Structure 1
Amino acid sequence: MTIWVPSLECFSGPRYRAIAQSIGAAISAGELAPGERLPPQRRLADALGVTVGTVTRGYAEAEHHGWVTARVGSGTFVKQPAERTVFDMAWRQNDDSDVIDLSLSLPPPHPLRLQAFSDALKAMSESPSAVTRGVSYLDARGAEGHRERLAGWLAQLGMSLNADELLITQGGQHGISLVLSTLLRPGELIATDALTYPGAISAAQQAHLKMVGIAFDEEGMCMEALEAQCARQPPRLIYVTPDQNNPTGACLSEARREQLVALARRYDSWLLEDGVQYLPAEQRGTPLYQLAPERTLFVFSTAKVLAGGLRIGVLRTPNVLLERLAAGLRAQSWMVPPLMVDIACYWIAQPEAASLLAWQTEELAARQQIVTEMLSGYTLGRSHNGSNVWLTLPEGSRAIELCKRLQLQGVKVSSAEPFCVGSTPAPQAIRICIGAATDRQALTQAVSVIKQCLAQPPLATITV
């Protein structure tokens, strides 16, 4: 008889905690079913080469998280799902359960995300001050304590920001929209990479702004092309994702950062720096908000490091714009709901937040390696710990047709069209969001399908 034996290699920290986390991951992946009995502690200890006490502590940790329940004299069992409540009635399960969706840039799933969120909700419900804030009106910029907590967390991530320069936003997208709608007037011009984040394109359209795409290469936006545009019509604002272009992964070189700042000063343009696509500090360049603090607005969010559903971010702004942007936020929603800010601030204060981010960094590096090895011979744009891979298709292949064939095979990716600014022609390439896969096995399966489709003849006649 075989027993379930977890692999602890993907989990950092003490062995007992790795055992608990592996139990949660196995439950999420369906490897352990509700009601299933976990292996006897001594047998699992022998299989893993650890002490019985380590397994006992790991089981206790899993029970603390609510994943299992211990029955005296019987063993430890995976918990049965709770009865449906009014909260469950609002949830609709995804009907595309057989589809591996790599079209959205998401952090890799981990049971700690759900547990950390649950723990934060519980802690808030037991805190009178947090409950009071949750039903109160606060300053549009956010509570001072919240801003200080977020600034301290960002400093741990290698981003030195002053709490007095921050506004709390409802995520990175809200920060971008707030800047464009508050600082620019309809008809004014924005310059950005010719391929850029679709949310920025949508925000510019909503604000009735003009947008021009600037040519770029593996070192980021081409300064000669930007300078030529400035000579014709200076943009009121330049939007950039300097450390990891979305979708291509291109990083703006240090020399070009200096040139960009010089051009922005010469032509009096605001700089909007998007840092939402998280990378470790050693892989990031010098922030524009350090090179040109007087004209740089910086957007960051918890979406790619904690959870997208939090909808909590920060906007760093020059002091001269603080009141203006606070008034703009107040006009839009009065404030960011303090309930969600409290949850985010509690979460980032827990040691599990750092453990989760360390795991995510290693996991994305491993996933990047999988894609690089499987698609060797193809042209890939990527960052070592980035969540996306940009695949340039072979001569004669069409991205739209490839996306159709992949979807028929149960894999979803993005073509270049949503990222094109203005009349920029769409290159024949696709974005593969490696973080969105449930695990490495699902990613490997999806990339295998992509590789098979790439090897087939062009799909001029396929219809859907």
Structure 2
Amino acid sequence: MTTWFPEIQRTGAPIYIEIADAMAHDIDRGKLKPGEKLPPQRNLAFDIGVTIGTIGRAYALARQRGLVTGEVGRGTYVRSSEPPLSDVVATTSSYRESTAEPVPDGIHPAPGKLRLDSTSAPEVGQSSFITRHVAAIMADYPDKTTDYIRSLKPEWQQAGQAWLATGGWQPDVASIVPTLGVHAGMMAAIATLTAPGDRVAFEAVTYASLARAANLIGRRPVSVPMTAGGIDVDAFDHLCANQHPKAVVVIPTIQNPTTAIMPAATRERLAAVARKHGVWIMEDNIYGACVDEAPVPIAALAPDITFHLGGLSKAVAAGIRSAWVSCPPAYVRSLPVAHKMLTGGMPFMLAETAARIVRAGEANTIARAVLRENLKRLTMVREILSGHDYRSHDNSPFIWLKLPEPWRASLFVSAARDIGLLVDGDDEFQFSQDQTSLHRVRIAFSTIPSHAILRDALVRLRRLLDAGPSGYDSYT
């Protein structure tokens, strides 16, 4: 048995989490070796000066993270090490990544371009958490990872309840449905609540891929004008009275792409108008995890008519592809069916990985690191683009830039691509031909590999903005 004594970093987190973090650190450094027995909980509690209950919670958290194993009467042991994932791939598969040039498909960009058009979470070390959990899941559930999901685990719903909690509100755990990302959850809700030909209202400038996807399954997206704080509730009231949409989709916290946060009073009025007209509300809170002091969510004001969605892609890791929907009780059974029909179902590995990261407290740890990293990058953006007109938020991974005269959005996007930079013009956030150009572009900065590369990209972007379209031409 080891005489291990944790070196606790006083970060302000609960002491049991700090003990588990110290354990992970010592395992990674080799101070705690695979198969080594940890001190009895009573002994470690006495040595540190905490209660046995605190040590019990720390050991339980370490077990959830896949760090240790334990049996009643035998004690707690450091989990036997697994071979590195790269070694496993090398010995079990003949797959090698091709060195050939990718075939253009009209969707993915040509290689060599810097993505200022993606808002997924930056790399802040989350891969080590994911690797550890995946290895533990393979050890704990070797049969589940090769099979389809037959039922939802309560732990998945508990994780969703914890992650969706915001603004002093927490959803009922029985209302939670795990989904393959927020987009898939939204599509499942739209398919469940509406029929082909029904209208679905969207903010005039929004994540338009969802509106186009709704159109793909026969729904008719309609545009609602906006104010500086988000959707124009008076215009929405008028649209409901005349066009009778069955549902409305809103992004009330860090609206994409405007970065607006819908005021609490507007949320209350929107809920009242939707209720008056019998319209379902779909609240996309994908960026809500990035804001500590957001107003109370619409789901808290009108839980019987609101589908509230949130996921991990912007604050933790997009590759986990996991989200949760809190829905009215009558739809807890039908929404998973629609989700399965549209997506093929939620993979066990992704659902279990996401749940473990959230329930272990690691998702919040990663999210705080992501916020710090994005703020550093935003500070750089503000420095280099100083003097230009744009909307931003301290917790947003993008800005909404107004182009100076005489730039037009489509021309600027083309010019930026020619110098190796991918940005999104305003038409990426509109879904009908009758909408007018705003002469804006969204500049995202979270996925650029390093600060040095980001700085170079922003300097190039600044030069392009200042040069104007007279300095650009496209020869084809």
The interval holding the TM-score normalised by the smaller chain is 0.7 to 0.9
1:213 is aligned to 2:219: no
Call closer, same or farther: CA 1:56–1:123 in 2, change over 3 Å.
closer
Q: CA contact under 8 A between 1:279 and 1:385: conserved in structure 2?
A: no
User: Which residue in the other structure is 1:34 paired with?
Assistant: none
Alignment match of 1:383 (pick from 393, 414, 439): 393
CA distance in 1, matches of 2:165, 2:228: 28
Shift of 1:60: 5.0
Shift of 1:435: 0.7
CA distance in 2, matches of 1:258, 1:157: 14
CA distance in 2, matches of 1:323, 1:448: 51
Shift of 1:173: 1.1
1:118 is aligned to 2:128: no
| Paired letter, 2:248 | I
Call closer, same or farther: CA 1:263–1:463 in 2, change over 3 Å.
farther
Unaligned runs of 5+ in 2: 1-8, 12-24, 35-83, 103-109
Call closer, same or farther: CA 1:85–1:433 in 2, change over 3 Å.
farther
User: Which residue in the other structure is 1:433 paired with?
Assistant: 444
User: Which residue in the other structure is 1:9 paired with?
Assistant: none
Alignment match of 1:324 (pick from 315, 329, 334): 334
CA distance in 2, matches of 1:334, 1:456: 49
Q: The residue matched to 1:373 in structure 2 has which SS?
A: helix
Shift of 1:335: 4.0
Shift of 1:337: 1.9
Q: Deviations over 1:18-39 (max 9, x none)?
A: xxxxxxxxxxxxxxxxxxxxxx
Q: CA contact under 8 A between 2:164 and 2:324: conserved in structure 1?
A: no
Q: CA contact under 8 A between 2:426 and 2:438: conserved in structure 1?
A: yes
Call closer, same or farther: CA 1:437–1:158 in 2, change over 3 Å.
farther
User: Which residue in the other structure is 1:356 paired with?
Assistant: 366
Call closer, same or farther: CA 1:352–1:183 in 2, change over 3 Å.
closer
Q: CA contact under 8 A between 1:146 and 1:342: conserved in structure 2?
A: yes
| Paired letter, 2:294 | R
Q: 5 Å matches for 1:256-267?
A: 256-267=266-277
CA distance in 2, matches of 1:265, 1:448: 49
CA distance in 1, matches of 2:329, 2:429: 32
Q: Deviations over 1:41-91 (max 9, x none)?
A: xxxxxxxxxxxxxx9999658x99xxxxxxxxxxxxxx9x86856668364
Call closer, same or farther: CA 1:171–1:348 in 2, change over 3 Å.
same
CA distance in 2, matches of 1:426, 1:91: 42
Alignment match of 1:235 (pick from 226, 236, 245): 245
Q: CA contact under 8 A between 1:238 and 1:272: conserved in structure 2?
A: yes
CA distance in 1, matches of 2:357, 2:136: 10
Q: CA contact under 8 A between 1:109 and 1:439: conserved in structure 2?
A: no
1:109 is aligned to 2:120: no
Shift of 1:186: 0.9
TM-score, normalised with respect to structure 2: 0.75
Shift of 1:425: 2.0
Q: CA contact under 8 A between 2:166 and 2:297: conserved in structure 1?
A: no
Call closer, same or farther: CA 1:174–1:420 in 2, change over 3 Å.
same
CA distance in 1, matches of 2:139, 2:213: 38
CA distance in 2, matches of 1:290, 1:240: 15
Q: CA contact under 8 A between 2:389 and 2:402: conserved in structure 1?
A: yes
Q: CA contact under 8 A between 2:185 and 2:339: conserved in structure 1?
A: no
Q: The residue matched to 2:259 in structure 1 has which SS?
A: coil
Q: Deviations over 1:285-308 (max 9, x none)?
A: 220100110100011112122221
Call closer, same or farther: CA 1:178–1:447 in 2, change over 3 Å.
same
Call closer, same or farther: CA 1:92–1:278 in 2, change over 3 Å.
farther
Q: 5 Å matches for 1:1-400?
A: 60=30, 84=90, 89=95, 91=97, 98-110=112-124, 112-127=125-140, 130-139=141-150, 142-155=152-165, 160-332=170-342, 335-400=345-410
Unaligned runs of 5+ in 1: 1-12, 16-54, 65-78
Percent of aligned pairs with the same amino acid: 21
TM-score, normalised with respect to structure 1: 0.77
Shift of 1:397: 0.7
